[in-house]
Amino acid sequence: MQVLKEFNEFLMKVGSGGTILFMAVMAIVIPYEVIGRYIFQKMSIWSGEVSTYSLAWASMLGSAVGLKKGYQVSMTSVVESIPPAAAKILKWTAYLFTLFFFAAMFYYGLYQTIYNSKQTSPAMGLVMSVPYASLPAGFFIMFFLTLEEFLVFIGQGKKGDAR
């Protein structure tokens, strides 16, 4: 559990750093495009691709880090209105399905990333694996953060190890 916790702390640092970086890229590129158009009278062919691919990366990393910080929402009204024992079974099921979903999305995301390694983007000629890799990267972080939370939930980790 300690190894998983340390690994997740590392993932959180990488995810947070990446989110900051790609948010900064978007915040610079879009105004640059407007300023370039009106002040320097020229349009760049790369800004659309750089900003939308940064959006994909910032969104996947931001939502993964947000998972740990409680940003992801779920409907808890059913679970809160039934006896605790039954609620625990439902939560177990929810955790297991969530782990399965993140693992499947990681696997097929990675498949699609490799599949697109020979395709290039129309404007910049960037290998399409680069933006596609945001999906497996984000789901990879989400899987391990959820795994830690699940282990705490079933009593394998110490209280306070996870949210």
Amino acid at 3: V
Residues 71, 77 contacting (CB under 8 angstroms):
no
Contact segment (CB under 8 A) with another protein among 2-10, 93-101, 153-161 equals: 93-101
Q: Rounded CA gap, 90 and 146, in Å?
A: 16
In this chain, which of 11, 60, 147, 152 binds another protein, going by CB under 8 A? 60
**3-state DSSP assignment of residue 2:** helix
85: contact with another protein by CB under 8 A:
no
Amino acid at 50: V
Pair of tokens at residue 36 = 């370039």
Q: Which of residues 4-43 bind another protein (CB under 8 A)?
A: 16, 19-20, 22-24, 26-27, 29-31, 33-34, 38
Amino acid at 10: F
Residues 150, 143 contacting (CB under 8 angstroms):
no
Residues 26, 51 contacting (CB under 8 angstroms):
yes
162: contact with another protein by CB under 8 A:
no
Contact segment (CB under 8 A) with another protein among 1-9, 109-117, 149-157 equals: 109-117
Binding site for another protein (CB under 8 A): 16, 19-20, 22-24, 26-27, 29-31, 33-34, 38, 48, 51-53, 55-56, 58-67, 69, 71-79, 90-91, 93-94, 97-98, 101-102, 104-105, 108-109, 111-112, 115, 131-132, 134-135, 138
